[in-house]
Amino acid sequence: MEIGSAKLEWVASRMKVINKLVDRYQPESPLKGIRIAVSIHLEAKTGYLALSLAKLGGEVVVTGSNPLSTQDEIVSELRHRGLTVNAQRTHDVDLYKKNLQLTLDSKPNIIIDDGADLTVTIHQERKEILKDLWGVCEETTTGVKRLRALENEKKLMVPAIAVNDAQTKYLFDNRYGTGQSVWDSIMRNTNLNIAEKRVVVAGYGWCGKGVAMRAKGLGARVIVTEVDPIKALEAIMDGFDVMEMKEAAKIGDIFVTTTGDTDVIRKEHFEVMKDGAILSNAGHFDVEVSVKDLESISTSKREARPNITEYEVNGRHLYLIADGRLVNLAAADGHPVEIMDLSFSVQLLSAIKIAKDHKKMENRVYAVPQEIDYEIARTKLELLGIKIDSLTEKQRKYLKSI
């Protein structure tokens, strides 16, 4: 069996919202002749997004968005189907960056980014490409944060749409997607029982909520760490223990970071962890579990299983999955297909919006228009065969009355 082709076929029949949207918009060819660079964790669902953009007329070039999250069989299959792909699974960050540069050589009009590496590279190293660039659609929390930082410093040179902040994205992808796929990855890589374990989830944002909820469902006793007092209170009300990381570090069996922040688990925490503790990260960058600290205090390291490195620290053994890169993408297949169908539908419609409206757009970060969110939610409900009520005229007036 050709695994790349099989994986793409598997998702093709299940990404039903995207399929509907492609059928709806294809007669207009809204992306005809437009150069689109896609930089998202390159697995089957992303491959299918790239092919869908091409069906709408886009001239698509694909790269990864993280060195370890590219699946090489998808790269080969996309090339086989005629797309230009600059990507490979690698531990080599320079090679990853070289692929970003190659992708920028195509002088894209629209960038579909995840974590903003392509967009930031243009702003810092390839300003000459800005004249061809109409706009950027950003997939994740960390990428939107970076775009807002550029905007605040008045350095954003292109309109950007915060795809992550659409309700049909973060409510489902960050919460239920991360919730399921993180546990899928931890279970398949460790083959350990989650029930009976003390799971420590760092960060109780959308991803953390999903990871904690699913850990509880699997029978774990869950501890949340936070820096935001409201999120911490929310975690308590949801039934979780909340404490500082320095306390959680002493009792946790499995750690998952979901903060988008740096050095969340560091030297002082590794030093007090139990023998056998499992460390993983679901945040965008590999900075949440400090691998630098782990390397500096460990006396030896070895590969314990595929994707798992064992570090010896003061006679104890700590196990890091996927070098501290996003565990669900670097060591598994990412979110469930139906979840990415929603997220990538937001990407698709946002790309069409940039294609149509870029001349009217300013160099700032835009929210996804509500009509896009509603179109996707309605299409999904329709596909599920679920009808919902509509407001009557009387209700409409009542809801607007004083």
How many beta carbons lie within 10 A of that of residue 291, not counting itself? 18
255 binds ligand NAI (CB under 6 A): no
The helix/strand count (H/E) of the chain reads as: 18, 15
Name which of residues 283 to 302 contact ligand NAI (CB under 6 A): 283-284
Stretch near ligand NAI under the rule CB under 6 A, chosen from 99-107, 151-159, 253-261, 303-311: 253-261
- Tokens standing for residue 42: 């390159």
**Smallest distance, ligand NAI to C-beta of residue 2, A:** 26
Measuring CA to CA, how many Å separate 136 from each of 168, 195, 201, 274, 338? 19, 42, 31, 44, 24
> Is residue 204 near ligand NAI by the rule CB under 6 A?
yes
Query: By CB under 6 A, is residue 206 in contact with ligand NAI?
Result: yes
Rg of the chain's alpha carbons, rounded to an integer? 22
Residues 6+ apart with CB under 8 A from 219: 194, 195, 196
Q: How many residues at the interface with ligand NAI, by CB under 6 A?
A: 31
Rounded-to-integer distance, Cα 150 and Cα 309, Å: 36
**264 near ligand NAI, rule: CB under 6 A:** yes
Q: Residue from 103, 225, 290, 307 that binds ligand NAI (CB under 6 A)?
A: 225
| Segment near ligand NAI (CB under 6 A); pick from 24-32, 74-82, 222-230, 379-387 | 222-230
Q: How many CB atoms lie within 10 A of CB 132?
A: 12
Q: By beta-carbon distance, which residue lies closest to ligand NAI?
A: 205
Q: Are 278 and 255 in contact (CB under 8 A)?
A: yes
Concatenated DSSP letters for 232-244? HHHHHHTT-EE--
Q: 4 or 203: whose CB is closer to ligand NAI? A: 203
DSSP H stretches of helix in 288-326: 291-297
- 119 vs 178 by CB, closer to ligand NAI: 178
Could you say whether residue 214 binds ligand NAI (CB under 6 A)?
Answer: no
User: Does residue number 252 form part of the binding site for ligand NAI (CB under 6 A)?
Assistant: no
By CB under 6 A, tell whether 119 contacts ligand NAI. Answer: no
Q: Which range touches ligand NAI (CB under 6 A), out of 18-26, 99-107, 138-146, 311-319?
A: 138-146
Q: Which of 141, 190, 280, 290 binds ligand NAI (CB under 6 A)?
A: 141
- Angle at 113 (CA atoms; ends 146, 111), nearest 5 degrees: 115
**DSSP H or E segment with residue 254:** strand 254-257
Cβ closer to ligand NAI: 100 or 264? Answer: 264
- CA 376: distance to chain centroid? 19
Q: How far is CA 287 from CA 3, 164, 263, in A?
A: 32, 21, 6
What's the CA gap between 246 and 202, in Å, rounded?
12
User: Does 30 contact ligand NAI by CB under 6 A?
Assistant: no
Q: Which of these segments, 10-18, 248-256, 299-307, 323-331, binds ligand NAI (CB under 6 A)?
A: 323-331
**Binder to ligand NAI among 174, 190, 307, 345 (CB under 6 A)?**
174
142 interacts with ligand NAI by CB under 6 A: yes
Binds ligand NAI (CB under 6 A): choice among 135, 208, 252, 324: 208
Question: Which region holds residue 151: left if phi is over 0, alpha if psi is between -120 and 50, else beta?
Answer: alpha
Q: Does 189 bind ligand NAI (CB under 6 A)?
A: no
Q: Which of 129, 103, 99, 101 is nearest to 38 (CA)?
A: 103
Q: Would you say 172 or 366 has its CB closer to ligand NAI?
A: 172
Of residues 138, 226, 333, 375, which one binds ligand NAI by CB under 6 A?
226
Q: Check binding of 165 to ligand NAI (CB under 6 A).
A: no
Q: Of 55, 221, 231, 316, which lies in the binding site for ligand NAI, with binding defined by CB under 6 A?
A: 231
Question: Which residue do the tokens 């070098």 mark?
Answer: 323
Asked if 103 and 75 touch (Cβ cutoff 8 Å), the reply is no
Q: Is 46 in the site for ligand NAI (CB under 6 A)?
A: no
Residue 268 in the binding site for ligand NAI (CB under 6 A): no
Instruction: Return the residue matching tokens 């660079």.
Output: 37
| Count of Cβ atoms closer than 10 Å to residue 100 Cβ | 22
Instruction: Please name the helix (run of DSSP H) or strand (run of DSSP E) that holds residue 245, with its range, or none.
Output: helix 245-251
Only one of the segments 265-273, 295-303, 321-329, 389-397 lies at the binding site for ligand NAI (rule: CB under 6 A); that segment is 321-329
Binding site for ligand NAI (CB under 6 A): 140-142, 170, 173-174, 178, 202-208, 225-228, 231, 258-261, 264, 282-284, 326, 328-329, 335
